[in-house]
């Protein structure tokens, strides 16, 4: 049922559909819009290119509002449009009730809106989702630039004038660790675009293992560490290990380091291939071709691909820097301390020698886990209430804008 007189959420996000190369952030917002579009109107301001792609979308007109469906319109801004004057002018032409920022470090899609909010040009409540950018592992990357940014951010006192959207208790602690306990943090888990458990069977022979890495090729996703772990595994002549990597290359210098190990692994008899970036609609089918997702990430506030793996009935081998913990007890995978490389090695070896019966039990448990814990219908209602309460509190004057 479409509601009349719906409130309007204005979203700022660097990349949006039909883009897909930025991974999780696009999925997070697209899922939010898909679940809540009957409850709210959405106006989305984004760029007219995909992540790391200089070519604008061919089928979309830039610098004008495009109606995607009832209650959902997107403004795809070109690079030359993105400046403070134009964004402020654009804001003066629309009406909205709340602003949702899908990043922390973006100049055009976070800093400018926050600056306008501080000046009073945006006189509506602001919600900011840091998307894992405040985790310890994430802060170590480009740490000097991030420290300078956070100092500036605190001097603006923007952190005290907004609501932080954390997607887990872990991310809430990360926000408080950086900005102090006086900030307002709402914990609402991310929404998954599709909860439908679709896991199919896959034969698992002893001595054969098919591993999948599906994420951006970046330091944060820690693929170099994954390759280093595999280097320590000694394959027997009758054993076979496949490791395929999917995702856009974000850092080419980092990828060159990865290629050194990839060539060494190939020389040892591993079948290692880089398959490129894939669009979201093909992800479930790709996951279904592999035995395990292998993602020793430095930090994830949610990890859409981890959930997609469970939904596809595939167990995971991940770090302990995500909200998905105690997986071994659930028989759906392992979440391992990044300082314990020996544990990663032993788990890979265990998976290599795993029988078909053992693996099929893990498939069943992964699908059950997805059914029980990946409940986007319930979380969508919590997110709806979060937006409604923030809007109502601002209207009543109980929150300083």
The DSSP secondary structure of 270-331, one letter per residue, reads -EEEEEE---GGGHHHHHTTSSEEEE--S--SS-HHHHHHHHTT--EEEESSSS---HHHHT
Task: Spell out the domains of the chain, with CATH numbers in brackets.
Answer: 7-192+376-396 (3.40.50.2000), 208-373 (3.40.50.2000)
179-204: b or e for each residue (b if 16 or more CB lie within 10 Å)?
beeebebbbbbbbbbbbebebeebeb
Of 340, 326, 243, 237, nearest to 291 by C-alpha is 243
d(CA 162, CA 114): 9
Structure tokens at 264: 């060494």
Segments in the chain below pLDDT 50: 1-3, 399-401
pLDDT at position 149 is 79
pLDDT in tens, 273-329: 999 999 988 999 999 999 999 999 998 888 889 999 999 999 999 999 998 999 999
| 3 state DSSP class of 244 | strand
Q: Where are the alpha helices (DSSP H) in 203-251?
A: 223-231
Structure tokens at 182: 């006086």
pLDDT at position 394 is 85
Q: Which pTM was predicted?
A: 0.86
Structure tokens at 24: 């999780």
pLDDT at position 397 is 67
Other C-beta atoms closer than 10 Å to the C-beta of 54 total: 7
d(CA 122, CA 35): 26
pLDDT at position 196 is 63
Provide CB contacts within 8 A for 28, sequence distance 6+: 102, 129, 131, 167, 190, 191, 302, 304
pLDDT at position 139 is 76
Cβ-count burial of 378 within 10 angstroms (0-12 exposed, 13-18 middle, 19+ buried)?
exposed
pLDDT in tens, 93-115: 999 999 999 988 888 999 899 99
d(CA 191, CA 278): 21
d(CA 379, CA 292): 27
Other C-beta atoms closer than 10 Å to the C-beta of 298 total: 21
Provide CB contacts within 8 A for 217, sequence distance 6+: 223, 245, 247, 248, 249, 250, 251, 254, 255, 258
d(CA 243, CA 209): 8
pLDDT at position 157 is 81
d(CA 191, CA 84): 31
């Amino acid at each position: 049922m479409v509601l009349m007189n719906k409130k309007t959420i204005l979203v700022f996000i660097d990349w949006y559909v039909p883009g897909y190369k930025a991974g999780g952030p696009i999925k997070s917002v697209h899922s939010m819009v898909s679940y809540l579009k009957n409850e709210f109107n959405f106006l989305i301001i984004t760029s007219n290119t995909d992540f790391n792609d200089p070519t604008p979308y061919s089928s979309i007109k830039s610098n004008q509002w495009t109606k995607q469906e009832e209650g959902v319109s997107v403004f795809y801004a070109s690079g030359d449009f993105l400046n403070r004057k134009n964004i402020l002018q654009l804001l003066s032409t629309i009406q909205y009730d709340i602003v949702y920022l899908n990043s922390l470090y973006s100049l055009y899609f976070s800093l400018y809106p926050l600056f306008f909010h501080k000046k009073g040009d945006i006189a509506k409540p602001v919600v900011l989702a840091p998307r894992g950018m405040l985790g310890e592992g994430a802060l170590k990357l480009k740490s000097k630039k991030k420290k300078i940014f956070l100092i500036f951010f605190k001097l603006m006192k923007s952190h005290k004038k907004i609501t932080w959207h954390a997607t887990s208790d872990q991310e809430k602690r990360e926000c408080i660790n950086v900005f102090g306990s006086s900030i307002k943090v709402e914990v609402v888990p991310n929404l998954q675009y599709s909860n439908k458990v679709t896991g199919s069977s896959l034969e698992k022979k002893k001595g054969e293992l098919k591993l999948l890495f599906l994420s951006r090729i970046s330091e944060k996703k820690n693929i170099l560490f994954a390759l280093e772990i595999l280097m320590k595994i000694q394959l027997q002549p009758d054993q076979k290990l496949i490791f395929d990597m999917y995702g856009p290359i974000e850092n080419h210098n980092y990828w060159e380091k990865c290629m050194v190990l990839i060539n060494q692994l190939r020389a040892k008899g591993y079948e290692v291939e880089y398959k490129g970036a894939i669009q979201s609609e093909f992800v479930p089918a790709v996951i279904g071709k592999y035995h395990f997702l292998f993602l020793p990430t430095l930090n994830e506030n949610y990890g859409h691909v981890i959930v997609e793996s469970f939904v596809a009935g595939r167990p995971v081998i991940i770090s302990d820097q995500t909200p998905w913990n105690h997986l071994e007890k659930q028989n759906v995978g392992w979440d391992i301390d990044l300082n314990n490389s020996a544990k990663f090695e032993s788990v890979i070896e265990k998976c290599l020698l795993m029988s078909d019966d053992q693996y099929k039990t893990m498939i069943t448990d992964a699908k059950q886990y997805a059914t029980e814990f990946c409940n986007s219908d319930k979380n969508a209602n919590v997110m709806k209430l979060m937006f409604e309460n923030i809007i109502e509190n601002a209207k009543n004057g109980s929150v300083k804008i």
